[in-house]
A and B are shown apart, each in its own frame.
Chain A
Amino acid sequence: MVKIGIEIHQRLDSSKLFCKCDSRISEEGKPDITVHRRLHPVFSELGEVDAASQAEFSKDRDFEYQVFKEHNCLVEMDEEPPGPMNEDALNIALEVASQLNATPVDEVHIMRKTVIDGSNTSGFQRTSIIAFGGHIDSSKGRIDVPMIAIEEESAGIVSGGEKKAVYRLDRLGIPLIEITTNPDIKDGAHLQEVAEKIGMILRATGKVARGLGTIRQDVNISTEGGARVEIKGAQDLKLLPTLVESEVKRQTELIKIMAELIRRKYVSMEAAPIDASGVFKDTKSQLIMNGLKAGSSVLAQKLPCHKGLLGTEIQPGRRYGTELSDYAKSSGVKGIIHSDEQMDKYQISESEVGELVKALGMKEDDAFIMVVAPKAQAEKAISFAIHRANISSVPEETRRANPDGTSSYMRPLPGKARLYPETDVPPIPITKELLSKIEKSESLDQKSARLGKLLNKEMGARMLKSRNLHLFEVLVESGADPMLVATTLEETVVSLRREGVEFVDLEKSLTELFMEYQKGSFVKAAIPDILKGMAKGARIEAVLKVMRLQRISGDALGKLIADEGYDMKKVMQKLRLQADPQEVADIIKKKKHELEYEKADKGKDFI
């Protein structure tokens, strides 16, 4: 039995959560100021540090923060206490909570969640529960939403290195709503459905941020006999079924490997690597040669009973050795080499392997791992890998979603010790008065019904799911024909993009396009060409003129139709992009009518 839950983080369209900085950021541009900081774990009364914090701390890194004056103040720089919580953001979150049938708490308590990977200048993320006991309906039953929180966005990573990580602060502090479901989700397809539905509910409010990176999904998966893992950063909803499938496979394979290790009588061991640099003094291996030249050491460690297991595939393209390697990477190394790999991949010769096997005193079932890095770091890497090898069950982990649906180890699952009160911000009472003031927007069901009426059932459903929903509403609001807007957004623009057309400002181009269309300046058929012309930011008047796409109508059109002998087919072949077929048909019809009338008249003369 697989248990799946999802956590959705959606940025709200409001200023920052604890200061008045603008949240509408471009995540581009050069920083105005650069600040260097270090973080250290905060000790509890028992002198204990949370496992996740300790794992990050062991990396001993410097953090460089890029400050953007337009979007940052001293609050994001951790140089000024936070202001009161942004009321507008809280109201949006409470509105979403009500759409999710949740009950607001009576008092919001702001907590600090320890995060010392550097992604928050303070070393913690501020987060608060705002509602509980919600649910949504799905095709496979009700999904409970036990908790809805509001929290601040972390800083964006620019580069992460062994000794230093660089973050940009422009996005730090943007309000996020966090929606957590119970592990009621049945399978990967169901997960996709639930994620899509929550996404639609969020977008339906029209008060959440739009665009890439404004919504993120973290998936919690646990399998029977396995463990709970949290997979972070799944961007593409279509990938969710693959993500689940890969994780189930990983845990199943790991369980098999654990069983085999027990059968082979593997017992936990201490890391005690040997310095194997001497083995490789005349090596042809580029990797090792370069490392040794740069002053690195080659450390090798015997892994008893692991032969063949390190090479066992546990996810497409990832082996058990990759798991050990992921842990070793926490020390800042690029990875490890293990004995189940093809040694010629690294230009390591058979005799070198032989010498290494001898030096390590390896027996039949044994494997080895090897690291090329500065000695202290290589020692750390080996000890981290051994730490992983010694875990005799599927470990509880936070993992990062890879673009192919597999995942990599990030850090241990955080413990409860990570949360403590943010004493700089007093609790916020959620009064009846405050709740009554929250402006209720349309619910998803109401919106679905309205769109069905405005378009048709099929297009309405499509629009409801679309990322362009907001733009659709804006354009229709300004008076454009709903169906034309829907087909332009969902079909024309999509196919243009497929052709490689990039829009500098789609919203602006479309607003202009439909305004002009209402004036009758061009015909529907010309829309793709006009949009192509406008993609780079050109004004519509210029595009119409240069591309000769102005609509021809009235007497001018009549003349041209006459030139083609009132042949609809011929006229449309020539004037497809400039004449409205209805108008052409009307003119031809009128002419035919006249002709017939004339005929009848002439007949009369004969009489």
Chain B
Amino acid sequence: MYSKRISDLLEKKKIGVGDRIRLVSADNVFEGLLMPRPYSGDPDIVVIKLDTGYNTGLAAQSIELISKAAPKKEGPDVEEKSKGGDIAILGCGGTIASKIEYKTGAVYPSITPKELRSAFPALGQWPIHSRQIFSLFSEDMNAHHWKLLADEIEREIKDGSTGAVVMHGTDTMTYTSAVISYMFQNLPIPVVLVGSQRSSDRPSSENEMNLLNSVFAATQDVGEVMVCMHATTSDDVCHLHRGTRVRKMHTSARDAFRSIGIRPLFAADYRTKRFDALTEHRKRSKPGELIIRKHVNDNVALIYAHPNLKPSLISKLDDYDGVVLIGSGLGHAAMNAFHDKTVHGIHKPVTELIESGIPVVMSSQCIEGRICMRVYTNGRLLRDAGVIGDGADWTPEAAYAKLCWALGQTKKMDEVRNLMMTDIAGEITPRSVPNEDQV
């Protein structure tokens, strides 16, 4: 936003963003298009796009309008439905498929089917239809959006789509992939979430390869929710991860998504038609086998157990319906096993939460490995207090999504405990197998 001084000046001269202007700065005359002000910087400095294509910021002595910008043509929103036997591409936002407006440099989500096909001509090799459900940064999403997405996936299955691809921001993609995994059990079609780490406004974005591999994966005989992202930093192979066992493990790199505790389900390359199974997976279910349980409870907290955590914080969680702790090590938090006066244990507030009917679930900061609250006293104290999760090897995100989902099914503590400890979609594995990549 420009400062009041500049805004008033522009208004007086009837100049808007995109208009061609003549600007004088340090006695030099510049002609170009008025650009919007970026979020940061000095709001008194005018940003102009010169005829060379460069934007630059200048303190203006004067600004004159040369010509108004042509009015923008807004295309109608096109929504496509399944014709049966094709693959649905559903847009939830993120930058996987967007376009640049060169004039202003703004990036817009582009999911109109025509634009999607023109951006990725190789999509033409599969029968597809597409529509946008919403367009959000994934960190802005919540249970409301999980529900919207679930409704659309259900609609696609009913309409006869043979696969669904969900374009999604990467930050919270693994929460979504986990919750969808619990909502749709015994899937008759693959549901593949896909994103990109490099925004689509760069020629180097890996969005094209990820998207094409996700559509390719959606044509396969798999009945699971999966996440399709780069396997390595190179544009060669994508990995398909199980929706409940995948985690974003790097802030920016292409190979940020890793399977935790198991190998990825598949290695895929649509160009060579390679689709190699790396571990066991579920095939498409037969008619009538699908179970849909879409209810979720969004009133669940996820708390990191860190040094200096105040017991009062835990006490304040009593207006939540459930709490997931991300404990240290085997699933620990300060329980003050030695009754040391210098320790601020959370034994009391945790016990009180559980006694008041709020389930507390344990996961681990270690990410890899299993919760074992039987080994050390603090763990035993947590377990004895009724903390759920001993023996589970879920990721914090899978545990969180599961508690949201479980509390959508029931509020009875015993039933929640049972649901939590029953493996629904691979979030709890029966045995810990050695990591082949580390041997």
Chain A residues in the interface with B (C-beta under 8 A):
35-45, 47, 53, 74, 77-81, 103, 105-109, 111-114, 116, 121-124, 127-129, 132-133, 147, 149, 416-421, 423, 426-427, 429
A78 touches B198 (CB 8 A): yes
Q: What is the distance, in angstroms, from B247's C-beta to the closest C-beta of chain A?
A: 18
Contact of B233 among A77, A105, A426 (CB under 8 A): A77
Question: Are the C-beta atoms of B202 and A103 separated by less than 8 Å?
Answer: no
Of the candidates B30, B200, B235, which one forms a contact with A37 in the assembled complex, judged by CB atoms under 8 Å apart? B235
B45-87 residues at the A interface, CB under 8 angstroms: 45, 47, 50-59
| Bound Cα distance from A363 to B102, whole angstroms | 49
Instruction: Identify the closest chain A residue to B198 (Cβ).
Output: A78
Residue of B with least CB distance to A50: B102
B301 CB to closest chain A CB (Å) equals 31
Known A42-B201, A44-B99, A80-B253; judge A103-B28 contact (CB<8 A): yes
- List the 4 closest A-B pairs by CB distance, nearest first: A107-B57, A123-B203, A419-B53, A421-B105
Asked if residues A42 and B100 are in contact (CB atoms below 8 Å), the reply is yes
Report A61 CB to chain B, min CB distance, Å: 12
Residue of B whose beta carbon sits closest to that of A116: B203
Chain B residues lying within 8 Å of A429, measured Cβ to Cβ, are: 41-42, 45, 57
Closest chain-A Cβ to B437's Cβ sits at a distance in Å of: 17
Q: Chain B residues in contact with chain A, CB under 8 A? A: 25-26, 28, 30, 38-42, 45, 47, 50-59, 99-102, 105, 107-108, 110, 115, 118-119, 198, 200-205, 208-209, 233-236, 251-254
Chain A residues within 8 Å of B205, by CB: 40, 42
Closest Cβ–Cβ distance, residue B335 to chain A (whole Å) = 39
Which A residues lie within 8 Å of B203 (CB)? 39-42, 53, 114, 116, 122-124
A559 vs chain B, min Cβ distance (A) = 74
Q: Is the CB of A78 within 8 A of B204?
A: yes
Contact of B234 among A35, A44, A420 (CB under 8 A): A35
Question: What chain A residues lie within 8 Å of B45 (beta carbons)?
Answer: 106-107, 429
Q: Which residues of B contact A128 (CB under 8 A)?
A: 54, 56
Indicate if the CB atoms of B99 and A133 lie closer than 8 Å: no
Report B157 CB to chain A, min CB distance, Å.
32
Which of the residues A35, A44, A77, A107 comes within 8 Å of B41, measured between beta carbons?
Answer: A107
CB distance from A169 to the nearest CB of B (A): 12
Count chain A CB atoms within 10 A of each CB in B45, B58, B203 and give the residue with the most: B203
In the complex, 9 of the A-B residue pairs with CB atoms within 8 angstroms, ordered by the A residue number, are: A40-B208, A79-B253, A80-B252, A80-B253, A106-B25, A106-B45, A107-B57, A123-B202, A416-B102
Q: Are A74 and B253 in contact (CB under 8 A)?
A: yes
CA distance A247 to B203 in the complex (A): 33
A37 to B203, CA, bound (A): 11
Complex Cα spacing A587 to B118, Å:
92
Instruction: State whether A420 touches B57 (Cβ < 8 A).
Output: no
Question: Which of A80, A112, A121, A427 has most chain B Cβ within 10 Å?
Answer: A427
Report A-chain residues with C-beta under 8 Å of the C-beta of B254.
79
In the complex, the answer to whether A44 meets B204 with C-beta atoms within 8 Å is no
Q: How far is the CB of B26 from chain A (nearest CB, A)?
A: 5
The answer to whether B234 touches A105 (Cβ under 8 A) is: no
CB distance from B106 to the nearest CB of A (A): 9
Flag if A109 contacts B99 (CB, 8 Å): no
Please, how many angstroms separate the alpha-carbon atoms of A53 and B50 in the complex?
A: 21
The residue in chain A whose Cβ has the minimal distance to the Cβ of B251 is A80
Please measure, in the bound complex, the distance between the C-alpha atom of A40 and the C-alpha atom of B25, giving whole angstroms. Answer: 38
Q: Are B204 and A107 in contact, CB atoms less than 8 angstroms apart?
A: no
- Give the docked Cα–Cα distance between A417 and B53 (Å): 7
Q: Apart from A127-B54, A128-B54, A427-B57, list 18 A-B contacts with CB within 8 A.
A: A36-B236, A39-B203, A40-B208, A43-B115, A45-B101, A45-B102, A74-B252, A80-B251, A80-B252, A105-B57, A108-B57, A114-B203, A116-B203, A123-B203, A418-B53, A421-B105, A427-B40, A429-B42
Listed residue (B57, B252, B253) with the most chain A CB atoms within 10 angstroms of its CB: B57
Which of A43, A128, A426 counts the most B-chain CB atoms under 10 A from its CB? A43
| Bound CA span A236–B107, Å | 42
- Beta-carbon nearest neighbor of A79 in chain B: B253
One of A78, A116, A417 near B102 (C-beta < 8 A): A417
Q: Which residues of B contact A133 (CB under 8 A)?
A: 26, 28
Given contacts A79-B254, A80-B252, contact A423 B56 (CB under 8 A): no
Q: Tell me the bound Cα distance from A177 to B208 in angstroms.
A: 34
CA distance A116 to B252 in the complex (A): 22
Which of A40, A106, A112 meets B57, CB within 8 Å? A106
| Contact A43–B118 (Cβ < 8 Å) | yes
Residue of A nearest to B115 (CB): A47
**Given A79-B233, A124-B203: A103 and B252 within 8 A (CB)?**
no
Q: Nearest CB to that of A120 among chain B residues?
A: B204
Q: Are A81 and B252 neighbours in the complex by a CB distance under 8 Å? A: yes
A70 to chain B, nearest CB (A): 18
When distances are taken between beta carbons in the complex, the residues of chain A under 8 Å from B235 are 36-38
Q: Is the CB of B57 within 8 A of A109?
A: yes
By a CB distance below 8 angstroms, the chain A residues around B202 are 42, 78, 112, 122-124
Expressed in whole angstroms, the minimum distance between the Cβ of B80 and any Cβ of chain A is 18
A109 to B275, CA, bound (A): 45
Cα separation A443 to B253 with both chains bound (whole Å):
45
CB distance from A105 to the nearest CB of B (A): 5
Give bound CA distance, A427 to B105, whole Å: 14
When A35-B233, A37-B234, A39-B204 are in contact, do A426 and B40 touch as well, CB less than 8 Å? yes
Q: Which of A79, A123, A416 has the most CB of B within 10 A?
A: A79
Cβ-defined contact, A43 with B252, below 8 A: no
Interfacial chain B residues near A79, Cβ < 8 Å: 233, 252-254
- Known: A36-B236, A42-B200, A427-B41. Contact between A147 and B57, CB under 8 A? no
Question: Given A44-B101, A114-B203, A427-B57, A107–B47 Cβ distance below 8 Å?
Answer: yes
Of all chain B residues, the one with the shortest Cβ separation from A67 is B233
Report the minimal beta-carbon distance from B337 to chain A, rounded to whole angstroms.
42
Q: In the complex, which residues of chain B have a beta carbon less than 8 angstroms from the beta carbon of A74? A: 252-253
CB within 8 Å for A106 and B99 given contacts A74-B253, A114-B203, A421-B105: no
Smallest CB gap from A44: residue in B: B102
Q: Provided the pairs A41-B203, A79-B252, A109-B55 are in contact, do residues A421 and B28 lie with their beta carbons within 8 angstroms?
A: no
Report the minimal beta-carbon distance from B249 to chain A, rounded to whole angstroms.
13
* A421→B38 contact, CB < 8 A: yes
Pick the contact of A107: B56, B102, B208 (CB < 8 A): B56
**How near does chain B come to A384, taking the closest CB pair, in angstroms?**
20
Shortest Cβ distance from B122 into A: residue: A40
Minimum C-beta distance from B55 to chain A (A)? 4
CB of A45 within 8 A of CB of B38, answer: no
What's the Cα separation between A37 and B59 when bound, in Å? Answer: 41
Beta-carbon contact of A105 and B58 below 8 Å: yes
**Interchain CA distance A111-B49 in the complex, whole Å:** 11
CB-CB under 8 A from A416, the residues of chain B are 51-53, 102
With a CB–CB cut-off of 8 A, which chain A residues contact B107? 423
A599 → chain B, closest Cβ, in Å? Answer: 82
B28, B202, B235: residue with the most chain A Cβ atoms closer than 10 Å: B202
Q: Which residue of A113, A123, A421 has the most chain B CB atoms within 10 A of its CB atom?
A: A421
Residues of B within 8 Å of A419, CB to CB, are 52-55, 102
Distance (whole angstroms) from the CB of B184 to the closest CB of chain A: 33
Closest CB-CB distance, B121 to chain A, in whole Å? Answer: 10
Q: Most chain-B Cβ atoms within 10 A of its Cβ — which of A37, A103, A124, A133?
A: A37
A575 to B427, CA, bound (A): 91
Give CA–CA (A112, B200) in the complex, Å: 13
Q: Please, which residues of chain A bring their CB within 8 A of the CB of B209?
A: 38
A117 to chain B, nearest CB (A): 10
Contact A129 B56 (CB under 8 A): yes
A416 to B47, CA, bound (A): 17
User: B108 contacts A45, CB within 8 Å?
Assistant: yes
Whole-angstrom distance between the alpha carbons of A470 and B52 in the complex? 35
Complex: how many Å from CA A44 to CA B51? 17
- The distance in angstroms between the C-alpha atoms of A447 and B40, with both chains bound, is 41
- Is the CB–CB distance between A105 and B55 below 8 Å? no
Q: For the complex, what is the distance from the CA of A43 to the CA of B202, rounded to whole Å?
A: 10
Q: Taking the nearest CB of chain A, how far is it from the CB of B1, in angstroms?
A: 14
Which residue of B26, B41, B208, B251 is within 8 Å of A426 (Cβ)?
Answer: B41
